[in-house]
Amino acid sequence: MSLKNHSDYKKEAERLEYTKEYIKKTLDATEEYRKLYKENIKDAMVNLDYLDSSQSYISILINTKFMETADKNFDNLTRIKDKPYFARIDFKSSEKKEADKVYIGKTSLIQAEDEVPLIVDWRAPIANVYYEGRLGETSYETEGGKQEGKLLLKRQFTIEDGELKNIMDIDITTTDAFLQASLEANAEERLKDIASTIQAEQNRVIRADMHLPLIVQGVAGSGKTTIALHRIAYFIYTYEKTFEPENFMIIAPNKLFINYISEVLPELGAENVRQTTFIDFMLELVGKKYKIVDANHKLMVLISSQNKENKELVKWMKWTAAFKGSMEFKSMLDDYIADIEKDYMPREDFIFQGHVIVDKEKIENMLLREFNYLPLYKRTDELKKTLKNQLKRYKEKFLKETEEYYDHQIENIRYKEEPSEERRHRILAIIEKRDLKLENIQKDSKTIINKYINSFSKIDLFDHYKNLLTEEVLIERYGEKLLPIEGIQHLCQQSRDLLGKKKIELEDYAPLAYLKYRIFGLKEKLRIDSVVIDEAQDFSLLQFYVLKEILNTNMFTLLGDISQGIHSYRSIQSWKEVLNTVFDKGKSNYMKLVQSYRTTIEVMNLANEIIDKLSSPEIVLAKPVIRHGDKPEIAEFDTTEKLFKDLQKKLQVFKKEKFQSIAVICKTNEECQKIKTFLDKEKKVHSKILDEKEESYEAGVVLVPVHLAKGLEFDVVLIVTIDEIYEEKELDIKLLYVAMTRALHKLDILYIKDRMPILEDISDGLSI
């Protein structure tokens, strides 16, 4: 149906005009207010007296606050002025006669004159009906309880540059044309917001209870990253009164990824959320004392076929990585810390002027029990306070007793002896002795506590850790029941090679942070209440556990996909372990996302065939949204030269077809480099290699190793393998699956003969 034939076209067009006009009026008024607040602040600054809390000072504070609110309103309205809303629902509550017409947009707008909402924020409780509800009986939760009613209309609008382009009424039979249109768009180098097309299963994740840990297993392209960002935006809106945006933190795999997501957050009204990587956050906690080994080093060893020969070494490398992320390692650390505590206990009583003020058993009791809510080394601060109080009492007592003792002697002489020169000398000598003694008590009291406390032997964090892992006797002592003897030897040898050279690897951060937290305490109090972790399948149990302990919160949202667990040598194998060991049993939510929105049916079918080779109960096959595209082309070559030429031709064609982002995905950086050298020599296609240090990438042709492509997406993906082999084994299956599922519209595979045995039994009509 054409837009103008829609029965409500006129009304909706008028409504849009009215809303736009109102936004404009509000923007003008806000601008005026901003000028006024600025003036007020300027005036107040002139009259400011720094010495008192004058009227001017208060005026500055108030006007600054007003200014902040006005700025926020101004930014929000500017953002929506050309597309004020994207949907309308007509909801008739059971208690009302008339239905409410609710226009849903990215931010709310209330008509000041009569408090009527012109636009309702997509995060508001009633908007839940839009995402969840089918026409008919429905309900939504409000602060005051459940609101029952009927959804009479669900309507979507396409509005471009302030103009109404389409109206679409949704009933049970219509497919989500909005979603289709959105998915057909080309990939930019940034993620987009999806407030207008959030699907019901995604909506449930976004709005799930913030106070319980939530684990989301979502297939490739199910919107996990997108949802992570929308969930934070939802929290900020819903818990505005309780939390500041700074209290939310999102942990992403690398800087490239943070850059990829960073622009959506402001669009969603979620600026100021902490965005970091696990490594950066840990560095903030433990400090940067040792050199950091490349976090992907082990994966590269496992990926690259060059390292095949040393199977035994690789086996133990994987074993130590897994152990360092395990809860067994945590219990080993706990035993170690218990011994560090014992070692830290005083060897002597606290003695002042030859008197025992507090005996060592009592001090030990304070350190081990009374103050054990504190990190070990911080307990001495509390001890210091107690000793100070005791010392004060004793000092006064000793001073008084000393004075009395000598005064008594003097009195005695005076009483018994006649005045004489000799008596005078004797008395003076006693006075001198007394004063010296008093001075000595005073002096001693000033230094005695520090002297005592300093006798506790403190060791540097890294040394504690190094001692544990580089001395076989210690690993044996604490890990005797846990570790095989060969494991102990390898762990020790590997640690000597690393820690001995002042280097640490990714797996060391969580245990180091744990030691720091338990022994030293963290420098500042971290006020992070809710943590959202993307690509959570790459985390270990210990990493989750340490984050939970350190941040002292249960408000975690973990999103990941076990099928994409290419770091599984060091990370979790299943979500069950996390649910059972990290969080309180039965007190978390677990949700699954099985619909994939990124990839075409043709690409997803092939990717599913690959991942299905794992035949693991943990693997969930993705269901693609109904969107067709070309069948993936798979081409085998007998020489690199021929492959390169063909690749170049394809890239030229894709560029002509106006695809915005094209990725050539290889197993390793070296392969990317080889292709780049060829393309640069030929000068027909401009390309760029994405590497670890990259913080952003632009549209065009990028060459990217598969582990870095994880999480990203491109219009076209070309998987190329020249030297490396994809075999039918877990890591290769996962790598290929990750690479394939990066494609939005098109996927081709180019390989040198015998380099893709994994594809041998792949079925249906692929153009090989």
Ligand X SMILES: Nc1ncnc2c1ncn2[C@@H]1O[C@H](COP(=O)(O)OP(=O)(O)OP(=O)(O)O)[C@@H](O)[C@H]1O
- Residue 207 binds ligand X (CB under 6 A): no
Residue 695 C-beta: closest distance to ligand X, Å:
19
Min separation Cβ 194 and ligand X, Å: 4
Among 529, 538, 713, 715, binds ligand X (CB under 6 A): 713
Binding window for ligand X (CB under 6 A); candidates: 8-16, 195-203, 290-298, 316-324: 195-203
Nearer to ligand X, 127 or 332 (CB): 127
Amino acid symbol at 310: N
Tokens read off for 157: 């609008």
User: DSSP string spanning 668-736?
Assistant: SHHHHHHHHHHHHHHTSS-EEE--TT-----SEEEEEEHHHHTT--EEEEEEEESS----SSHHHHHHH
Q: Which is nearer to ligand X, 259 or 489 (CB)?
A: 259
354 annotated as belonging to a binding site for a ligand: no
- Find the binder of ligand X among 111, 147, 158, 182 (CB under 6 A): 182
495 or 741, CB closer to ligand X?
741
26 sits near ligand X (criterion: CB under 6 A): no
Stretch that binds ligand X, among 198-206, 279-287, 349-357, 575-583 (CB under 6 A): 198-206
Q: How far is the CB of 732 from ligand X (least distance, A)?
A: 18
Q: Is 536 annotated as a binding residue?
A: no
Told to check if 715 binds ligand X by CB under 6 A, we report no
| Per CB under 6 A, 575 contacts ligand X | no
Q: Which of 559, 695, 698, 700 is nearest to 257 (CA)?
A: 695
Contact status: 565 vs ligand X (CB under 6 A):
no
If binding is defined by CB under 6 A, does position 34 make contact with ligand X? no
The pattern of x and - marking residues 589 through 608 that bind ligand X according to CB under 6 A reads --------xx----------
Check: CB of residue 547 under 8 Å from CB of residue 509.
no
CB of 224 to ligand X, least distance (A): 3
Tell me the two tokens of residue 673.
Answer: 């480099």
Secondary structure of 340-352 in HEC code, one letter for each residue: HHHHHCCCCCEEE
Q: Which of 104, 114, 178 is nearest to 140 (CA)?
A: 104
Q: Does the protein bind ligand X through residue 221 (CB under 6 A)?
A: yes
Q: Is 202 in the site for ligand X (CB under 6 A)?
A: yes
In the complex, least distance from residue 592 CB atom to ligand X, rounded to whole angstroms: 12
**Is residue 192 a contact residue for ligand X (CB under 6 A)?**
yes
138-146, 218-226, 543-551, 602-610 -> range binding ligand X (CB under 6 A): 218-226
Which candidate, 455, 456, 473, 477, places its Cα nearest to that of 341? 456
How far, in Å, CA of 97 to CA of 242, rounded? 35
Q: How far is the CB of 249 from ligand X (least distance, A)?
A: 18
222 is in an annotated binding site: yes
Verify binding: residue 536, ligand X, rule CB under 6 A. no
Nearer to ligand X, 565 or 711 (CB): 711
For 254, the token pair is 């690398």
Beta carbons of 128 and 134 less than 8 angstroms apart: no
Give the binding range for ligand X (CB under 6 A) out of 87-95, 213-221, 309-317, 519-527. 213-221
> 195, 582 in Cβ contact below 8 A?
no
Binding to ligand X, residues 724-763 (CB under 6 A): 741
Task: Compute the distance between CA of residue 231 and CA of residue 261 in angstroms, rounded to an integer.
Answer: 13
**Angle at the Cα of 167 from the Cα atoms of 164 and 168, rounded to 5 degrees:** 155
Q: Is 588 in the site for ligand X (CB under 6 A)?
A: no
| 218 binds ligand X per the rule CB under 6 A | yes
Query: For the chain, how many residues are written?
Result: 768
Among 40, 56, 107, 197, binds ligand X (CB under 6 A): 197
Q: Does the annotation place 225 within a ligand binding site?
A: yes
We find the least distance from the C-beta atom of residue 671 to ligand X, in angstroms, to be 22
Residue of the chain from 104, 198, 483, 752 that contacts ligand X (CB under 6 A) = 198
The pair of structure tokens assigned to 596 is 């994939």
224 is in an annotated binding site: yes
DSSP for 70-99, please give it. Answer: HHHHHHHHHHHTTS--SEEEEEEETT-SSP
Per the CB < 8 A criterion, the answer to whether 163 and 17 are in contact is: no
**Half-sphere exposure of residue 652: CA atoms within 13 angstroms, side-chain side:** 11
What is the CA angle 171-175-181, rounded to 5?
125
Cα–Cα distance between 736 and 758 in angstroms, integer? 9
Query: Contact with ligand X (CB under 6 A): which of 19, 26, 225, 540?
Result: 225
Closer to ligand X by Cβ: residue 223 or 346: 223
Among 133, 223, 325, 565, binds ligand X (CB under 6 A): 223
Rg (C-alpha) for the chain, rounded Å, is 34
The single residue among 220, 363, 387, 492 that binds ligand X, judged by CB under 6 A, is 220
Q: Is 223 annotated as a binding residue?
A: yes
Among the residue ranges 130-138, 224-232, 280-288, 607-615, the one whose residues contact ligand X (CB under 6 A):
224-232
Q: Does 179 bind ligand X (CB under 6 A)?
A: yes
Told to check if 203 binds ligand X by CB under 6 A, we report no
Name the phi and psi angles at 567, rounded to 5.
Answer: -100, 30
Q: Does 711 bind ligand X (CB under 6 A)?
A: yes
Greatest Cα-to-Cα distance within the chain, rounded to the nearest angstrom: 129
In the bound state with ligand X, the residue whose beta carbon lies nearer, of 6 and 230, is 230
Q: What is the rounded distance in angstroms from the CA atom of residue 29 to the CA atom of residue 480?
A: 72
**What is the rounded CA–CA span in Å between residue 197 and residue 188?**
18
User: Could you say which DSSP state residue 767 is in?
Assistant: B
Residue whose token pair is 């909506």: 203
Report if residue 475 touches ligand X, rule: CB under 6 A. Answer: no
262 contacts ligand X (rule: CB under 6 A): no
The pair of structure tokens assigned to 711 is 């999480």
Backbone angles phi, psi at 210, to 5 degrees: -75, -25
Chain contacts with ligand X (rule: CB under 6 A) = 179, 182-183, 192, 194, 197-199, 202, 218, 220-226, 561, 564, 597-598, 711, 713, 741
Q: Which residues are annotated as a binding site for ATP?
A: 218-225
Q: Which residues are annotated as a binding site?
A: 218-225
